[in-house]
Structure 1
């Protein structure tokens, strides 16, 4: 079995090992001008936001356009070390190097930024589905706790950036996407740029019936970004993002239903017609000032609001969160180096309550709200203060030191019960100091880097409370040390770029959310994990002729993650693989391009089996997914341009688990529900018109 699996990996790598050697002989006949242009193609021209010599991975518009505008998982999973599990359009979990894999639902243990504004809430959760893929210009990932200026969370940071207007031009664009499962998506955008001012306004609408029962999704969104230059040294940036969506929830399936009836919803969720309704608002203003000399400052103030209503079979959750914060960063030169100094302060107020769900007494009409079961309020505060200093040591060698200080406080109020039964409590974590150090050596055709960093993760809401709703005074933050070595190499006169990284991360005080009821978890610090891994990425731009180019690419991830010390009651899981993490993953493909107007892509993703229980007694099956897409654009009349896209997802109609729920428990004699089925073979087509003047 093991030999067969490694042979499978080898077969997928083989084309990339052979192609460079084949085309290298052809490339010797090309002059240096052609080679230099290929370097620009590989680098993508995307401005890096990670500070100084901090390494990061980035995908741009071309990489995102390989897939349907709904398929954010395939786009992000092109980056090695990053794995997005998507149970539905509204059910996503991002893990980086195995961190966050044990979270039951949603994304935590990393920091999410949208146009440099932090949008992770006070409990550490981030919502990637609050942003429309068609509005994004780039996604940058800092893997692990080495990004001092973007938090030192053990998972790292995810930085989303919107599309910028084309300099000096005004454009109207409209794209309409149609697809399987009665999917319709429309994005209408106005962009304008002139000297000292730009504005971007877009509206999007999406509706789909979904692959499964009780799987409808409808979303409307509005995005406004603008930048105004105030004199020679000042600039104001404005951001407003609003999303309103309603998503039915088919929930997870047991193994029998997953294999035999993957389009079905769980029976209880179907009977209750479970769904969630969300209204999310983000508003922010950033003021930037250039002082005399090299010193500059950028300060953002922002406000977030989320209104969430979710009928589940076991109860109905009604909640809202509003928060506000400030992020200020100073940058400049000091002695012979560069420094960054700043901080983030964030405070939010979370209100939530539960009610009886009387769907069984509602004559088959789904959920019906009954008596109140709980009423709670929580105030959450976080403070991050950070500093970095980068200095050249020799002509090719540079060093960077960083420091981050975090202080987190939770204040929980029980508004439902009184007297001795009242569960109100406060939990203030001790300040935690998180240093980092990096070295980079550069030469003409590449660079090497080494990094040592300390990181942490705060407990989430379920982990801070016991099943009875009492604040757990014994829970503490996860803490870890990350050691990393890697490099970037340009080969064949720059036509091929290879990125390679090996890392070792030790995490202690592992946070475990143990499921003790259908919607009840208890958090505790259960032991230690060791995360070892290899990340390898390569792109090879091959100019076949004057207009035709071929670009093979791949991103491979080896995750050798395990429990070092993990005892759960009478069970000792030490030495077992880390639950929820595939050992091998591969994203690969070929891009064919004819000029700037015709493109064809063939993509492949391999995901190894995933351990589903801490005892390693149950695993998901490994799978391969193939996708193909094509793009064609042509001018129509004057400044009007037509753009056509079409694609097929899951070409071979593979039944696979796009997401999993670890350590699932079957209640009342039922089978555990581990699996969220991925979509079957499906199609999409997009037609776009743009008017640029």
Structure 2
């Protein structure tokens, strides 16, 4: 811990010395943002009213490999992506969701305003090509009343905005280590009252580890048309088809000796998953006048998933549908929103015996059926907010949401007394929020209090016998936050800082009792305290050259207030799965629109691996560099080339970990998902304007 504290001190001293030196050199310079950055302004902030949020734009994402979305998201303080593989990602915000084994839950996710979180709260961010993104917006904690009020918060994915009057065809081709090939082909047309975007993407890679291949094809269509003077229609279709081999987690010995190994049982079974995912949405907006607007959306999702695993074979599909309607306007000199969101899905899953041990080394082989289940899941959110300017500098906002969640489980495999069909209707929960924003000369100060919740996941709702757990409750919590956003030195230096405390009761814990079985329970109470800081400076050196250092820092002090597990009392222990200190920093050297060089760094403190706080992963530092150059070949044809090198010093580090892992059959527990060794990527972009 002494080592990590020293590193933090040195980074703060380094960054502030840069900021002080640049500020003294040129306090009066005006920053000329390039057109790529300005493009972000066309994407309207989605967080309602004065609700604070953080954003990533195109230039932030383009610092990294086009398949490395985790590094881009990790620039946001308070948010951490644990990525075990391209298809195994767990996003945590302020420690919420850190204990989930293999996926992202306890937060809500939207794609162009369409909810993409399923009926049990799971979001699959790997179903989207980040080369199509224009802005990613994150609301941390349950203060986003109109966006679900989940304890973790909300992530809003937005595609690139239309550029009115432009029609072009663009192709980006990238190759890299581990036989990686990626291609993104896009056609975009925009005119007054109409725009169309068509995109096809392909990705394939062998991966860093054994049994780690990944192949994905995707198609994206977005369009907007003005139907009449006060109305428009937006259309969205996203389709993804991917097959991913699964190396799974490994034990300490394998991680230290050869991080490229796959888990022996997953390698023997040649475990993999295939996913076919479709999202379709239709939104209609009507502007009654300048002060009143209503937007209503309907959507449909479909997921077909097949996954041979060492312990069984899972075959499932999910149909989901719903609507979202939002009325925005002004009344009594204040801004209001009122809306409703309904999401329903039908989840069907079967399991089969995996006969890979009797398949002559050829991997998984489907055997006898073990189960046949169906679950109907419904979630209704009603919400409203009202923001009023109390004084010329002080604005207050109040919000109230109501959530109603229902699960209906059907056992289609067993008869009579062995049938485990059951229903679980959670009580409606009220979720109030209050926020204040005070404007000062160089920025704003804000404060907010919000109540949030998290629904139990599938494993948590069912007992090991497949019966709905009648005792499981939703997690509930209250978040308190103080913060400020400042622009100094003629807007060259931006500072965002926040302190928070979140008290969560009825904490959901997925306890592993067998290789393929978990049971959920409400374990007690946790306290999440933290500090977040984001700094970004832009200094014009001379001519068109600019130097842009940045730093984000997250301090997480999360602990159990009350947690008794059988004979073990973990009250007062730190919450496992969360690094106490995390730093994400970088420096960019940019010349107008044609050249940029980026050096980025990530420090992640050690992560506790069990509730007893007796085991932890090792802290690590990762450095990446990338460069990009753009030029015009003709008036209509533009060329861009890029190159990047990741993990410069070939560090062996855990990019994801499992909490409270248990070894079965005498095997050592498998805690670690190794990160990629040193690797490169390079690519070329051609853009033809018509």
Quick one: which of 212, 217, 221 aligns to 1:220?
217
Matched-pair contact (CA < 8 Å) for 2:37–2:57 = no
**What's 2:540 paired with?**
543
Count of aligned pairs? 689
What is the rounded CA distance, in whole Å, between the counterparts of 2:348 and 2:40 in structure 1? 43
**What's 1:240 paired with?**
237
Deviation at 1:3, TM superposition (A): 3.0
Matched-pair contact (CA < 8 Å) for 2:74–2:81 = yes
The Cα offsets for residues 137-193 of structure 1, whole Å up to 9 and x where unpaired, read as: 111000000001111000000000011232210010001000000000000000000
Q: Give runs of aligned pairs for residues 170-185 of structure 1, distance below 5 A.
A: 170-185=167-182
**What's 2:645 paired with?**
648
Q: Give runs of aligned pairs for residues 79-98 of structure 1, distance below 5 A.
A: 79-98=76-95
**What's 1:434 paired with?**
431
**What's 2:17 paired with?**
18
Deviation at 1:42, TM superposition (A): 9.8
**What's 1:609 paired with?**
606
SS class of match (1:467): coil
**What's 2:468 paired with?**
471
What is the rounded CA distance, in whole Å, between the counterparts of 2:393 and 2:34 in structure 1? 24
Q: Give runs of aligned pairs for residues 294-309 of structure 1, distance below 5 A.
A: 294-309=291-306
Deviation at 1:47, TM superposition (A): 2.8
Q: Give runs of aligned pairs for residues 3-82 of structure 1, distance below 5 A.
A: 3-28=2-27, 30-31=28-29, 34-35=30-31, 45=41, 46-82=43-79
SS class of match (2:417): helix
What is the rounded CA distance, in whole Å, between the counterparts of 1:127 and 1:44 in structure 2? 24
Matched-pair contact (CA < 8 Å) for 1:38–1:541 = no
What is the rounded CA distance, in whole Å, between the counterparts of 2:35 and 2:45 in structure 1? 16
The Cα offsets for residues 33-83 of structure 1, whole Å up to 9 and x where unpaired, read as: x25869996996353110000000100000000000000110000000000
Matched-pair contact (CA < 8 Å) for 2:345–2:377 = yes
**What's 1:420 paired with?**
417
The Cα offsets for residues 427-486 of structure 1, whole Å up to 9 and x where unpaired, read as: 000000000000000133100000000000011100000111111100000000100000
1:620 aligns with 2:621: no
SS class of match (2:542): coil
SS class of match (2:146): helix
SS class of match (1:390): strand
**What's 1:519 paired with?**
516
Q: Give runs of aligned pairs for residues 203-214 of structure 1, distance below 5 A.
A: 203-214=200-211
1:122 aligns with 2:119: yes
Matched-pair contact (CA < 8 Å) for 1:646–1:685 = yes
Gaps of 5+ in 2: none
The Cα offsets for residues 15-39 of structure 1, whole Å up to 9 and x where unpaired, read as: 11101111111113x45xx258699
Gaps of 5+ in 1: none
**What's 1:381 paired with?**
378
Matched-pair contact (CA < 8 Å) for 2:151–2:453 = yes
**What's 1:330 paired with?**
327
SS class of match (1:441): strand
**What's 2:108 paired with?**
111
**What's 1:357 paired with?**
354
SS class of match (1:256): helix
1:173–1:38: structure 2 CA closer, same or farther, 3 Å change rule?
Answer: closer
1:663 aligns with 2:660: yes
Matched-pair contact (CA < 8 Å) for 1:38–1:495 = no
What is the rounded CA distance, in whole Å, between the counterparts of 2:543 and 2:527 in structure 1? 50
Deviation at 1:10, TM superposition (A): 0.9
What is the rounded CA distance, in whole Å, between the counterparts of 2:465 and 2:8 in structure 1? 47
Matched-pair contact (CA < 8 Å) for 2:34–2:592 = no
1:211–1:35: structure 2 CA closer, same or farther, 3 Å change rule?
Answer: closer
1:399 aligns with 2:396: yes
SS class of match (1:502): strand
**What's 2:247 paired with?**
250
**What's 2:575 paired with?**
578
What is the rounded CA distance, in whole Å, between the counterparts of 2:500 and 2:518 in structure 1? 32
Aligned-residue Cα RMSD (Å) equals 1.3
**What's 1:366 paired with?**
363
1:304–1:40: structure 2 CA closer, same or farther, 3 Å change rule?
Answer: closer
**What's 1:280 paired with?**
277
The Cα offsets for residues 222-279 of structure 1, whole Å up to 9 and x where unpaired, read as: 0000000012100000000000000000000000000101001111100100000000
Matched-pair contact (CA < 8 Å) for 1:164–1:200 = no
1:130–1:43: structure 2 CA closer, same or farther, 3 Å change rule?
Answer: closer
Q: What TM-score results when the alignment is normalised by the length of structure 2?
A: 0.99
Matched-pair contact (CA < 8 Å) for 2:583–2:602 = yes
Deviation at 1:14, TM superposition (A): 1.8
Quick one: which of 341, 344, 347 aligns to 1:344?
341
What is the rounded CA distance, in whole Å, between the counterparts of 1:204 and 1:340 in structure 2? 37
1:453 aligns with 2:426: no
**What's 2:552 paired with?**
555
Matched-pair contact (CA < 8 Å) for 1:305–1:322 = yes
Matched-pair contact (CA < 8 Å) for 2:34–2:593 = no
Matched-pair contact (CA < 8 Å) for 2:40–2:135 = no
Q: What TM-score results when the alignment is normalised by the length of structure 1?
A: 0.98
What is the rounded CA distance, in whole Å, between the counterparts of 1:143 and 1:165 in structure 2? 28
What is the rounded CA distance, in whole Å, between the counterparts of 2:91 and 2:54 in structure 1? 15
What is the rounded CA distance, in whole Å, between the counterparts of 2:289 and 2:269 in structure 1? 63
What is the rounded CA distance, in whole Å, between the counterparts of 1:688 and 1:487 in structure 2? 39
SS class of match (2:341): strand
Matched-pair contact (CA < 8 Å) for 2:182–2:203 = yes
The Cα offsets for residues 70-120 of structure 1, whole Å up to 9 and x where unpaired, read as: 001100000000001100000000000000001111000000000000010
1:504 aligns with 2:493: no
Matched-pair contact (CA < 8 Å) for 1:234–1:287 = yes
SS class of match (1:291): strand
What is the rounded CA distance, in whole Å, between the counterparts of 1:280 and 1:410 in structure 2? 23
1:37–1:673: structure 2 CA closer, same or farther, 3 Å change rule?
Answer: closer
What is the rounded CA distance, in whole Å, between the counterparts of 1:142 and 1:461 in structure 2? 25
What is the rounded CA distance, in whole Å, between the counterparts of 1:530 and 1:5 in structure 2? 23
SS class of match (2:357): helix
What is the rounded CA distance, in whole Å, between the counterparts of 1:543 and 1:43 in structure 2? 20
What is the rounded CA distance, in whole Å, between the counterparts of 2:38 and 2:651 in structure 1? 32
SS class of match (1:580): coil
What is the rounded CA distance, in whole Å, between the counterparts of 1:401 and 1:435 in structure 2? 8
Quick one: which of 483, 487, 491 aligns to 1:490?
487
Matched-pair contact (CA < 8 Å) for 2:249–2:262 = yes
Deviation at 1:195, TM superposition (A): 1.0
Matched-pair contact (CA < 8 Å) for 2:37–2:58 = no
SS class of match (2:266): helix
